[in-house]
């Protein structure tokens, strides 16, 4: 129901935007939906009602709807869920065109998929996205792989790969075979010159060296731009307990009993503390 309603509303909004020569926007801002009334954006009232109903059903908000995080997530999730199957079909078509094997299974859609993590590069234009700036490329050149011992190396020494894949795909689709380069500058195993055991030892050492250099370079870059390393990840099981308690409405005793094993007993007090800590982290009011 929400998917159909969202699609119809989006069409209506885009029609109005075209009439007014304004740009098309994604309707993913809960703040706009939240303040819809019979006088202001009345066409959003049904969507507002359904999203609030969803949040209350799973105990993600209370009667005051004071937790905006999960309502924002709902607004991102609706169009993502609607378009997911078509996105998978597009991926299959693309893989077939370039001659790649199509996986038998694709991940099922999850509401965590469209969650937006703010990228520092969007706030500070001096910081580039790591995928763009420091792609993880292990293609050791002849010089670097033979200078592993006793030489001060930098990560760039291993990144001698010719980045031509997407360009190659572009030319291949156009039938322009002469411009498809499809080769790398690196070091390969020549069985005439060394055994596999000898080559494997060299390449394993080179890879370990590159990983360390890559990490060091990236951390220095982030520290230079004010990055502060966060705390270690919290116990994932505690988040699972929160889902059991808040959404599935298990009792604290149910959770403690279910997750207790012969070698480790989970106390109700442990569960309560975990629920409080995780809910505080998520700014979620426990039911």
Q: What is the pLDDT of residues 168-216, one digit of tens each?
A: 777 777 777 777 666 656 788 889 888 999 999 989 988 998 999 999 9
Confidence label for 12 from pLDDT (cuts 50, 70 and 90): low
For residue 230, being part of any structural domain is answered with no
What angle do the packed helices 45-57 and 2-19 form, to 10 degrees?
150
Residue 189 maps to a domain: yes
Q: Is residue 120 part of a domain?
A: no
275 pLDDT exceeds 90? yes
Same domain for 210 and 247? no
Assigned domain for 121 exists: no
Query: What's the confidence (pLDDT) of residue 165?
Result: 64
In this structure, are 186 and 258 located in the same domain? no
Question: Residue 24 has what pLDDT?
Answer: 47
- Compare 187 and 109 and report the one with higher pLDDT: 109
Cβ distance 55 to 65 under 8 Å? yes
| pLDDT attached to residue 251 | 94
Q: Is residue 231 part of a domain?
A: no
Report the predicted TM-score, pTM, of the whole model to 2 decimal places. 0.59
Query: Is 146 within a domain?
Result: yes
How far apart (Å, rounded) are the C-alpha atoms in residues 63 and 56? Answer: 8
83, part of any domain: yes
Give how many domains the chain has, as a whole number.
Answer: 3
- pLDDT bin (cut points 50, 70, 90) of residue 249 is very high
Q: Are residues 149 and 84 in the same domain?
A: no
CA dihedral sign of residues 201, 199, 151, 207: negative
Residue 263 lies in a domain: yes
Which domain, by its residues, includes 16?
A: 2-97
pLDDT of residue 90 exceeding 80: yes
Distances from the Cα of 277 to the Cαs of 29, 235, 271, 281, in angstroms?
A: 28, 11, 10, 6
Domain identity same for 208 and 261: no
Of residues 162 and 115, which shows the higher confidence score? Answer: 115
Same domain, 220 and 244: no
Range in 88-102, 120-134, 200-214, 270-284 with the lowest mean pLDDT: 120-134
What average pLDDT is seen over the chain?
A: 79
CA dist 193 and 191 (Å) reads 5
């Amino acid at each position: 129901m929400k998917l159909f309603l969202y699609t119809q509303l989006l069409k209506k909004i885009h029609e109005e935007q075209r009439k007014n020569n304004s740009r098309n926007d994604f309707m993913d801002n809960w703040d706009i939906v939240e303040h819809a009334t019979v006088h202001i954006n009345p066409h959003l009232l049904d969507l507002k009602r359904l999203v609030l109903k969803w949040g209350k059903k799973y105990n993600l908000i209370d009667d005051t709807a004071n937790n905006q995080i999960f309502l924002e997530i709902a607004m991102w999730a609706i169009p993502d869920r609607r378009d997911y199957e078509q996105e998978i079909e597009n991926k299959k078509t693309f893989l077939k065109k370039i001659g790649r094997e199509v996986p038998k299974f694709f991940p099922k859609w999850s509401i965590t998929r469209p969650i937006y993590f703010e990228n520092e590069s969007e706030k500070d234009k001096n910081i580039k996205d790591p995928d763009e700036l420091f792609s993880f490329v292990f293609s050791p050149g002849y010089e670097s792989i033979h200078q592993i011992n006793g030489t001060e190396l930098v990560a760039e020494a291993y990144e001698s790969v010719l980045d031509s894949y997407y360009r190659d795909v572009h030319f291949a689709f156009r039938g322009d075979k002469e411009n498809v380069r499809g080769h790398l500058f690196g070091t390969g195993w020549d069985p005439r010159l060394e055994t596999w055991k000898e080559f494997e030892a060299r390449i394993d050492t080179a890879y370990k060296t590159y990983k360390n250099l890559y990490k060091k370079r990236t951390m220095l870059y982030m520290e230079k731009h004010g990055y502060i390393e966060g705390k270690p990840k919290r116990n994932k099981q505690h988040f699972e307990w929160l889902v059991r308690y808040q959404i599935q409405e298990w009792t604290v005793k149910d959770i403690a009993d279910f997750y207790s094993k012969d070698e480790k007993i989970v106390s109700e007090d442990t569960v309560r503390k975990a629920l409080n800590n995780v809910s505080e982290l998520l700014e979620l009011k426990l039911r």
